[in-house]
């Protein structure tokens, strides 16, 4: 997966996230929708993390394809 593939996936996930949030406006989200929204947020964090890894590797002369998606627990544990 290259940078463009990752960005395309981010766009897909963001579109689904927005649609879900809009659907819940004024009525709230059901349990399944809340779980899906949580899953989308984690997947987005993983995509952004992978993109940052790839860009950092390229910047320092390493092969960007050596970057790998990290587990959700690891990505979600980062401090901002």
pLDDT tens for the chain, 80 residues: list them. 899 999 999 999 999 999 999 999 999 999 999 999 999 999 999 999 999 999 999 999 999 999 999 999 999 877 66
pLDDT score of 77: 77
Nearest to 57 by CA among 71, 43, 73, 68: 68
Count of domains observed in the chain? 1
Q: pTM for this one?
A: 0.89
pLDDT score of 79: 66
pLDDT score of 78: 72
For residue 48, give its domain range.
3-76
Nearest to 28 by CA among 36, 20, 16: 20
Structure tokens at 51: 């993109």
CB 15 within 8 A of CB 38: no
């Amino acid at each position: 997966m290259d940078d463009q593939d990752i960005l395309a996936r981010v766009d897909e996930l963001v579109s689904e996230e927005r649609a879900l949030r809009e659907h819940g406006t004024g009525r709230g989200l059901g349990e399944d929708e809340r779980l899906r929204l949580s899953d989308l947020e984690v997947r987005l964090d993983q995509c952004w993390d992978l993109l940052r890894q790839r860009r950092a590797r390229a910047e320092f002369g390493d092969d960007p394809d050596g970057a790998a998606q990290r587990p959700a627990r690891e990505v979600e544990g980062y401090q901002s």
